[in-house]
Structure 1
Amino acid sequence: MVNRYLVEQVFSYFGLVFWSLQLAPQAYKTYRRGTSTGVSVWAMLIWTSAGVFMGVYNIGLGVAIALWIQPQIFAFIACICLFQEFRYQHKWSQATMCIGFVLSCLFFSGLEIGLIFAFKKAEQVENQGAIHFFGILPVVTILGGFLPQYYEIFRDKRVIGISHLFLTMDFFGSIFSTISLAFRDEIDALDLANYIAIACFDVGILVLYYIFEWYHKRKGTTNKDSDETRNSGELSHDCETAPEIKTVPSGEKLDQGL
């Protein structure tokens, strides 16, 4: 007999490690490169908000403690990535960036606390519409955060600046969190759908990376072949139009001269 509570707790901590820290490799990659090119500022802004909404819903549902902590760390690192965008793309000074980061953290913390009280109030009065609204918010914002990133990928026809380690951790964190939620006594469909959809979007970005890499390599090979063909055609054309030089035997020259 499987101990459902034990499975829920164990996989929630796996999800905590992978999902909450997923953006750390992205933040480090951006810092190491000294540029956030290829990373959508809108994606990071939406994901920061999404971490707040997911934290409210997970705390409100009373899921495993690890899944309470998970969105908080995720939102914190997403906020770091957001202000890296302002630093590298919009050339904010370091002081301005730090002040903005601290104020944003305070704002999002206050927003989450207020929304948790609102969720508990909705539970007390048994307002199912409000409870479902709190469940839909993280789904919409988490998945909506992928849309600006996908837009940049299709616009540039290339996946640049996105850490593969981030995508891998996000994928496995979502899978572990899904397993944890699936072993709860009361399974919440919205929470499950959220994590499953995240895993699918992560796989989509990885697939697009290899598709566009293949596309650019093929395009480069085609351009090289066409250049070689054009150059060889020009060479043959020059050979055809070059004047023909005839050599006359010395005997003929002697006869004509006589």
Structure 2
Amino acid sequence: MDGRDGSGGNRVAVNVLGTMGAVFWSIQLLPQLYINWRKKDTTGLQPSMMLLWAFAGLPLGVHNILADENVALQVQAQILTLLSLLTWSQVMFYGHKWSLSKSTIVVLLIALAFGAVEAAIVCGIKYGTKEQVPKWTLDLFASLAAAGLGMGVLRHYYDIYTHRSVRGISFFFVGLDAAGDLTSLISVGESSLPSISRP
């Protein structure tokens, strides 16, 4: 044995696919933001869904930073929160007739509060933990992020059920979300494959 193995290929594939998933998920709301702006209408787009997604970005960011994930995944969580808050502000501006100044100020205050809480949690755990971050801590924040994302999606499915139609959602947004799901699932599958040693 010369010490070389096939795990390097797996690691490259996992990193590439994981980064692709992060990119797709990072930009998935851009088509939605554009369509909302072009139509000046957000009928059917649930503000609670966007707030839940924005909230999910907070524990997701904490998890990815504490788990020392690659930079793309750490940044992706922050972009998710930012774009979700911007989309939420469009719903409040176009759908609930908030003024531009009110929408902007509220979004800025929420974003600053989320950023401060995330920074406080990360710093508190990093400096309060002498050794490696406990697995249960990472699992807790991952679960909170998944719960926020899941509840956001379920809120929109409830709207589809009650109105018997899909309202307010960009299909480009859905496509990018699906692409992020697919590449991330493949990445997880690749990471679980056993390495094959070369003689």
Do they superpose with TM above 0.5? Answer: yes
Aligned CA distance change for structure 1 residues 91 and 119 (closer, same or farther; 3 Å): same
What aligned pairs does 1:16-55 form with structure 2 within 5 A after superposition? 16-55=22-61
Q: Which residue of 1 aligns with 2:161?
A: 154
Which residue identity lines up with residue 57 of structure 2 in the other structure?
G
Partner of 1:133: 140
What amino acid is the match of 1:51? Answer: G
Measured at CA, do residues 126 and 84 of structure 1 come closer, stay the same or move farther in structure 2, by a change above 3 Å? Answer: closer
Alignment CA distance shift 1:96-1:7 (3 Å): same
User: Which stretches in structure 1 are left out of the alignment for 5+ residues?
Assistant: 186-258
Contact 1:36/1:161 (<8 A) preserved? yes
Is residue 91 of structure 2 the alignment partner of residue 85 of structure 1?
A: yes
Q: For residue 42 of structure 1, give the secondary structure of its aligned residue in structure 2.
A: helix
Q: Which has the higher contact order (CA 8 A, sep 6+)?
A: 2
Cα distance change on mapping 1:118 and 1:183 into 2, 3 Å? farther
How far did 1:64 drift?
Answer: 2.2
Amino acid at match of 2:45: V
1:112 is aligned to: 118
**In the alignment, is the contact (CA less than 8 A) between 1:7 and 1:183 conserved in 2?**
yes
1:5 Cα deviation from its structure 2 partner? 2.4
Between structure 1 and structure 2, the one with the greater Rg is 1
- Change over 3 Å in CA distance of 1:47–1:128 after alignment to 2: same
- 1:159 is paired with a residue whose SS is coil
Question: Do structure 1's residue 73 and structure 2's residue 84 form an aligned pair?
Answer: no
The amino acid of 1:168's aligned partner reads G
Counterpart residue number, 1:205: none
**How big is the shift at 1:55?**
1.3
Q: Secondary structure at 1:36's aligned position in 2?
A: coil
The offset of 1:127, in angstroms, is 4.7
TM-score (norm 1): 0.66
With the length of structure 2 as denominator, give the TM-score of the two structures. 0.84
Contact kept in structure 2, 1:23 and 1:78, CA below 8 Å: yes
User: Deviation per CA, 1:155-197, whole angstroms, max 9, x where unpaired?
Assistant: 1111011111101101111222233344458xxxxxxxxxxxx
Pick from 178, 182, 194: which aligns with 2:185? 178
In terms of fraction of residues, the more helix-rich structure is 1
**Aligned-CA RMSD value:** 2.2
Cα offsets for 1:77-119 (capped at 9, x unmatched): 1010011111012211111111112212111111211222344
Change (3 A) 1:13 1:130: closer
Identity %: 31
| Structure 1 residue aligned with 2:70 | 64
Aligned mates of 2:16, 2:133 — CA distance in 1? 31
CA distance in 2, matches of 1:17, 1:129: 27
Of the three residues 93, 101, 105, the one matched with 2:107 is 101
Instruction: Report the secondary structure of 2:97's partner residue.
Output: coil
Structure 2: stretches of 5+ with no match in the other structure: 1-5, 193-199
